[in-house]
Structure 1
Amino acid sequence: MSKNRKSAVEKIILYLLLSLIALITLFPFIWMISSSLKTETEMFVFPIQWIPEVFHWENYEKAWKMTSFPLALFNSLKVSVIITIGQVLTSAMAGYAFAKIKFRGRNKVFIGYLATMMVPFQVVMIPQFILFRKIGLINNHLALILPGIFTVFGVFMLKQFFMGIPDEILEAARIDGCSEAGIMFRVVIPLSKAALSSLAIFTFRWQWNDYLAPLIYLNDKELFTIPLALSTFRMENLTLYTLIMAGSVISLVPVILVFLFTQKYLIQGIAMTGLKG
């Protein structure tokens, strides 16, 4: 077998393997869409009927009306957008300080800060709830926003990216009399759009799908985010699975749109972050 033919066969096998992995990954998503267009009885038929005999589009209308979906959508957008902007800003400032500003104990402080990633949310969940209750933040979106705008992962990610920016560029700015804040916002940030966009996408997706924190801190239905609104379909003696599937499909639309508009920056950020440093 010639070298070119062997290479072509290897590529075909690789593409077939990747296609199989992609199909397995998409399986739950396809099943969710299919189930959202069925009745409750049809949803649990085995073997799975992927294409319903009758498409029940009314499931989407019911899911939209029964959960005050527009209000939940607004709440999720409000919380997710504010937290995303806050995380990108705080992570950029901290990441720049750890990457480009020399101060005593910098590495030790960074290692200590990084070590907090090992502490799961369940450990601080109760103390944080007690604290927020004492300061009156229970049943308030601020209980989600205030702790959400700080992230160790974002600081680590941007620090690694900033370390790849040549110090000569920053020194030239300092010689021209630019302050550290000016260097960060006028020099470093414009050079880091890919990494910042990647962090924004990760943060938005995580906050949009977060269920545990809203469940802990929010009580009024008027404050519910999308995940909590979907949970209202689980009643004491009945669970409306088809409406949950329909609502889940609707809730995916904003995340998909954000990804489609920013996928170029996401791929660039993943490829470039951590190459140096």
Structure 2
Amino acid sequence: MDYIFKHYPADKYAKLYPKGYEKTLEGKILYKLLNRGLLIIGLAILISVVIAMQLGNIQLKNLDALPFAYGMLQAIPFLMLEVSAIKQFKLMRNLDVQTKRHADLSPRSVFNYLSAARLLSAVAMFFVCIFVMLSLNDFNISSDILVLVGSMLLCNGLFVGLGYVLLRGKKLDPHQSPKDRHTMISAVFRSYTSVSILVSMFFIINRCAEHYSIDNWEPLINSLYWQSVVLLSTGAMLKLTTPKEVNFEVYKNTIPNNN
């Protein structure tokens, strides 16, 4: 954000700040404060757990829910960021006064944005996960297996639905160049497939830990899982959509500023 504020100021690139510079700056500060607060909370939890374990007041196997709870807390700033982005794009479309509309002739096939090998890897891991879970349960379909499979279907179904809307739905950013839109969709699809593969791997490892009675490692596995989700989901976006490669000229003022 600092790079954008410096090189693309609001007085020259007003379309980039539909809520105004001050509101955008407030959002950046809030996001930074939330993440720093979560870091402090995380360190405090870690120190407290280590001390409690050293004193013998708690065991690692009793902390299964802790990584999940902290993972949910970590997701709050990202969720707020996504909601803010959706509202900003909506405001951009409302403020878009172009009288001449340009048809977007970008490709609508998922394979224009994602390699077949990557998509097939995600699908293959889904079925491998189901096979492993069934084999560890002697191929008996229990309620636990149904819940896990249902969770995987919901997760991957969400990715498919979001991907379909992104590919076939209305263009969120009315000013975005075709090249930047292609890069953005590619990054999102890579993020979806990475998380999908990670979810399958997590369920496999989780069931193996339960089957082979190594539950003591479960909190560590859960913690590594949540950190990996954050790194893979945001890492793909940050790696492919660096500010220096985005065409910000489309947000430049088209009407001279009379102030």
Q: Whose radius of gyration is greater, 1 or 2? A: 1
For Structure 1 versus Structure 2, the TM-score category normalised by the shorter chain is 0.3 to 0.5
TM-score, normalised relative to structure 1: 0.32
